[in-house]
Amino acid sequence: MQLRPYQAEDQGALVDLWYESWRSVGLQTPIVTKADLARRMPDDLARRWTVTVAEIDHEIVGFLALCLEEQRLDQLFVSPGAQGHGVGSALFNVALRQMPKGFWLSTQPNNHSARAFYERRGMSVDCTDRGMSGERVVYVFPSPIG
């Protein structure tokens, strides 16, 4: 697996991966459509995201989007076929390196696989509130003590 910075030509593949990963979670009502993601991505890339792409055999299998100014892990998605093979862990480790003082993220309450993934990596629930797309669970990853 290779981790590398986002390149402009990755945009279409990232939108596809983002959408397919969302669909694979098993939520009854998808929060967004593929068209929503295609409209959103250029703005997020221009305004706030630092993106790392994961590739296996020149195929994009995951991506991580960080909002460094907010110390927030904004997006971490892995293609359904690559889940469970260390891609998410490798991307999460990029977040740890780039935000060593700690960070936060939010996810849907019913996204049990994502929640379990973050909890296995030491994140803890900070609160549950209402975000732009409905209820969300906010996780925090504190900086190491010492």
For the residues of the chain, what is the DSSP string, one character each? -EEEE--GGGHHHHHHHHHHHHHHT--SS-SS-HHHHHHHHHHHHHHT-EEEEEEETTEEEEEEEEEGGGTEEEEEEE-GGGTTTTHHHHHHHHHHHH-TTEEEEEE-TT-HHHHHHHHHTT-EEEEEEEETTEEEEEEEEEPPP-
Model confidence at 144: pLDDT above 60: no
Residue-wise pLDDT tens digits, 100-126: 999 999 888 888 888 999 999 999 988
Model confidence at 44: pLDDT above 80: no
Model confidence at 75: pLDDT above 70: yes
Mean per-residue pLDDT of the chain = 84
Going from the N-terminus, what domains does the chain have, and what CATH number goes with each?
A: 2-142 (3.40.630.30)
pLDDT-derived band of residue 16, with 50, 70 and 90 as boundaries? confident
Model confidence at 22: pLDDT above 70: no
What is the value of pTM for the model shown? Answer: 0.84
